[in-house]
Amino acid sequence: MTVEIPVDGRAARSARTRAAVVDALLTLLEEGELRPTVGRIAERAGISARSVYVHFDDLDDLFAAAAHRQTERFGSLVEDVPAGAPLADRVDAFVRSRARVLEAIAPVRRAALLHEPFLPALARLLDAARGHERREVEHAFAPELATLKADTRRRVCAALDVATGWPAWETLRTHHGLSPAVARRTMTETVHAIVNRRRDS
């Protein structure tokens, strides 16, 4: 005999509304509204502005939820870099994956950085994301980094992190006006230049 567990209708509705608010915020950010008001978010979600604060403590709570949703949406874009592959293959795989993710998250990352100084929970999530990106660099180029003295290894890791992070991608795409393909090729060339000039000085 199958026992059916009753579903709490209110909890389900609350979860749907919460998801609708997060989706509304992400949609507005992707459309270029970097600082949407609670009223705009509520309007897009189809609820009252007052209801937003029923489901979220404040904007920090809402932006943190949106950041988590971003991770869920684009996590599948990350490509594993084969540890034992030749350097050229690892560079290609790493930059291809990084460029794909950075291009996908661009509108929301711009808004997140704008709000970061004022929203502590969002700031912590962005700091965690940066740490994850640094660890991806260390993993992808572990064989080359392992041959370096500690001080040099730290400098090379920092250089690779800077060359492949969001600010570099934004500069290539927005300030230099490069296409995604050309920006990716430029990033690839920069990574090769850094890794191949890795001897202690």
- Alpha-carbon Rg for the chain, nearest whole angstrom, is 21
Report the distance separating Cα 59 and Cα 29, nearest Å.
Answer: 14
In a domain, 183, yes or no: yes
Res 84: pLDDT: 86
> 87 and 149 share a domain?
yes
Digit-by-digit pLDDT tens for the chain (201 residues) are 444 444 567 778 888 999 999 999 999 999 999 999 999 999 999 999 999 999 999 999 999 999 999 888 888 888 889 888 999 999 999 999 999 999 999 999 999 999 999 999 999 999 999 999 999 999 999 999 999 999 999 999 999 999 999 999 999 999 999 999 999 999 999 999 999 885 544
> 38 and 83 share a domain?
no
Residues 55-79: b if buried by 16+ CB within 10 A, e if exposed? bbeebbebbbbbbebbeeeeeeeee
Range of the domain at 84: 79-196
> 51 and 83 share a domain?
no
Task: Give the dihedral of Cα atoms 20, 21, 27, 28; nearest 10 deg.
Answer: 150
